Each structure stands twice: as structure tokens, then as C-alpha cells.
Amino acid sequence: MATRTIEKSAWEAYLNRVSKELGACLAEVEVAGLDIGDQIEAEWITLTGVSYDPKDDVVAVDLLSRDDKNVEHLVNRPVELVADETVEGLVSLVVADADGQRTILRLKKPLALPPA
């Protein structure tokens, strides 16, 4: 595994590329901070996109719940973006915000079964 910090000037392009290449992908979103502990915000639901808006200075994680409702997790005032990549692709993203909280986005591909 290779963990690398993405420069803030490249966040928008990097996350747009991630969203474009997602395919069918499940995600877990965990938020961790000294003031809140560790909390699971979303547990292995469909990730539809992740983006950075430099104008509003926000990272948006877009998901689709099991009952087909759009779920959006926002990270305001992000200060760091760390990607964990393997030969198979992106495994996780960690976004740290200005308040010291970290949003951990873990990814996995759904199990592909052969046709019945």
C-alpha cells in the first residue's frame, strides 16, 4: 500500500478523477475527533461521488442509501487529504478539517457473482 498526501491545489482534479473511475463501489464513512470520538456516519452503502469545491472550501462525499435516498457528508474547511492506494486502486481517503476532526472514507468493491 502507498499512502500519499495530495496537495490542496490538486484536490479538485484528483477527486473528480476518483469519482469518474468509481464504478460500483461501496463505502463506509467514519468521523473521528477528540471531542466526538469515532462515529460511523455511513456503513457500506453505494458511493456515487466525492468532490472538492474550492470556492466554498468543502469536500462532499455523495452516497446512495439502501432505500435509494441521496446522502451527503460534508467536510468544511478541509486542511489535508490523504489517499491510501494499492495496485488494485484507491482503498481509503482521509480528510482532516480545521477543527481537528478526520473523515475516513473506506472503499470496497461489491462482490461480483457469476450469472446464475
35-45: pLDDT as tens digits? 888 999 999 99
Q: What is the CATH number of domain 2-108?
A: 2.30.30
* CA end-to-end span of the chain: 35
Q: What is the pTM of this model?
A: 0.89
pLDDT bucket at 113, cuts 50 / 70 / 90: low
Closest CA to 26 of 87, 90, 82: 90
pLDDT in tens, 53-104: 999 999 999 999 989 899 999 999 999 999 998 887 889 999 999 999 999 9
CA angle at 106 for the pair 64 and 88, rounded to the nearest 5°: 105
Strand partners, 64: 46, 70
Q: What is the spatial distance between Cα 24 and Cα 113, in angstroms, rounded to a whole number?
A: 13
Phi, psi dihedrals of residue 19, rounded to the nearest 5°: -60, -40
